[in-house]
Amino acid sequence: MTGQTSTFRIAGREFGSRLIMGTGKFASCQIMAAAAAASGTAIVTVALRRADLSGQQDKFANILSFIDTKKYLLLPNTSGARTAEEACRLARLGREATGSTWIKLEIHPDPRYLLPDAVETLKSAETLIKEGFTVLPYINADPVLAKRLEDVGCATVMPLGSPIGSARGIETRASIEIIIEQANVPVVVDAGLGAPSHAAEAMEMGADAVLVNTAIAVATDPVRMAAAFKAAVEAGRVAFELGLAPKRREAEATSPLTSFLKES
């Protein structure tokens, strides 16, 4: 199915999958790597705080060694940062350690629901873009913020469907629809997608991609769940490109009431 849908690009780079996978919460790095392969993903995101950034190949913090950068684009993220300054520091350190100039901005001062701070995110996006980073910001589903981030040069916007790990699906639907309608950069629905049907729903709405982590990581069989998400994302995208049948309140009459006009 993938081959039939239009291509997906971020910052001029083409990707063969519209499913981005997160790497937290897995029972082991081996299972994470197997799930990434089964998901068909082309981009995996890693929390820099989990990785060794000292350049000493720390075997107790070796998550990066499980990610084949020939197969995947490594997308470091700033999870744990609570201010723009912390996110910038972490991004710079991540660039030195991984060589990647791509950064997924995550700034959540609230450690309970991990909801993103709009003010700090915009501030750090501006700074990092000036420093040459390709910035993909995780945001609440705020259409005005999405436009502001696009204006300062973000490569995507990544609105949340519902809080990270909540598995509640797309509870921000109305706002995400506006974001998608207005965006000139790819829209990646990030966070809260707890079931393949949620991912399919995002794709049917016209999101360019989705990011999934918890639902795959904590599944009884993460590898098979990754494959299920892959299928759902592909199906949702095909459906969006073909155009969904409009919803109707009533059944459509099999014998149209105005057909007599054609009879003469």
Which residues form the interface with another protein (CB under 8 A)?
Answer: 24-29, 47-53, 58, 60-61, 80-82, 86, 89-90, 93, 109-113, 165, 167, 214, 217-218
* CB of residue 97 to another protein, shortest distance in Å: 10
Complex with another protein: residue 82 or 147, whichever CB lies closer: 82
Two structure tokens written together for 205: 């709405």
* CB of residue 178 to another protein, shortest distance in Å: 27
Complex with another protein: residue 50 or 147, whichever CB lies closer: 50
Complex with another protein: residue 83 or 101, whichever CB lies closer: 83
* Number of C-beta neighbours around residue 49 at 10 A: 14
Q: Which residues pair with 102 in a beta bridge?
A: 134
- Asked about 104 being catalytic, the answer comes back as yes
Is the distance from CB of 156 to CB of 178 less than 8 angstroms?
Answer: no
Is the distance from CB of 192 to CB of 160 less than 8 angstroms?
Answer: yes
Q: Which amino acid is at 49?
A: R
The catalytic position among 25, 59, 70, 104 is 104
Complex with another protein: residue 167 or 223, whichever CB lies closer: 167
Complex with another protein: residue 103 or 187, whichever CB lies closer: 103
* CB of residue 87 to another protein, shortest distance in Å: 9
Two structure tokens written together for 228: 């299920």
* CB of residue 105 to another protein, shortest distance in Å: 14
Is the distance from CB of 214 to CB of 165 less than 8 angstroms?
Answer: yes
DSSP calls for 44-100:
EEEEGGGS--SSS--TTS-GGGGS-TTTSEEEEE-TT--SHHHHHHHHHHHHHHH--
Is the distance from CB of 182 to CB of 150 less than 8 angstroms?
Answer: no
* CB of residue 49 to another protein, shortest distance in Å: 4
Proportion of the chain in helix, strand, coil states, percent, rounded to 5: 40, 15, 45
Cite the active site residues. 104
